A and B are shown apart, each in its own frame.
Chain A
Amino acid sequence: MFQFLQRKQEPDKFGPDPDQLSIRQLLDDSSVPISIKAVLNLPEHARQRLLRVLLPPHLLARFQIKPMTWRGPDGDEHVRVVMRPESGLLRVEARHAGGAQDAFYSVELQDNALNGIDLNLLVLNDPMAPRFDTDFDEDGRQTQFGTLRRNLKEEERAMAAGLAPGQVRSGLQASRDVFQNLETFLAMMAHYSVFLEPLTYASAWVFERRGFAYVRGHKLMDDIQREFQDGGRLRKALDGSTPFRRPEQWRTVRGRAWAVHDGILAEMDQTWDGLRMVKQIGQHAGANTFPDAVY
Chain B
Amino acid sequence: MINSYRMTRAAELGSLAHFRDFVEEVCNAQGIDEDTAYDLKLAVDEACTNVVQHGYAGMNPGSIMLDMTVSEGEVEVRLTDFGHPFEPSSAPKPDITLPLEERSMGGFGLFFIYETMDAVDYVSGEEGNTLILRKRFEE
Q: Is A7 an interface residue (CB 8 A)?
A: yes
B23-31, B35-43, B46-54 - the one binding chain A = B46-54
Q: Is A206 an interface residue (CB 8 A)?
A: no
Interface range for A: 35 or more
Is the pair A14, B60 in contact by a Cβ cutoff of 8 Å?
no
Is the pair B126, A5 in contact by a Cβ cutoff of 8 Å?
no
- When chains A and B are docked, how far (Å) is the Cα of A10 from the Cα of B59? 16
Within 8 A of A (CB), among B49-68: 49-50, 53-54, 56, 59-63, 65
Residues of B within 8 A of A280 (CB): 127-128
- When chains A and B are docked, how far (Å) is the Cα of A2 from the Cα of B12? 16
- When chains A and B are docked, how far (Å) is the Cα of A1 from the Cα of B62? 19
Is the pair A192, B86 in contact by a Cβ cutoff of 8 Å?
no
- When chains A and B are docked, how far (Å) is the Cα of A275 from the Cα of B127? 17
Q: Is B110 an interface residue (CB 8 A)?
A: yes
Is the pair B60, A216 in contact by a Cβ cutoff of 8 Å?
yes
Is the pair B85, A285 in contact by a Cβ cutoff of 8 Å?
no
- When chains A and B are docked, how far (Å) is the Cα of A12 from the Cα of B87? 12
Q: Is A222 an interface residue (CB 8 A)?
A: yes
Is the pair A219, B12 in contact by a Cβ cutoff of 8 Å?
yes
Knowing that A5-B91, A276-B62 touch, tell me 19 more A-B residue pairs with CB under 8 angstroms: A1-B46, A1-B109, A2-B109, A2-B110, A4-B110, A5-B86, A8-B84, A8-B85, A12-B124, A12-B125, A192-B125, A216-B56, A216-B59, A218-B10, A218-B62, A219-B11, A278-B128, A280-B128, A286-B6
Q: List chain B positions with a Cβ less than 8 A from chain A.
A: 6-12, 46, 49-50, 53-54, 56, 59-63, 65, 82-88, 90-92, 104-107, 109-110, 124-128
7 cross-chain CB contacts under 8 A: A4-B90, A7-B54, A7-B84, A7-B86, A8-B124, A11-B124, A12-B125
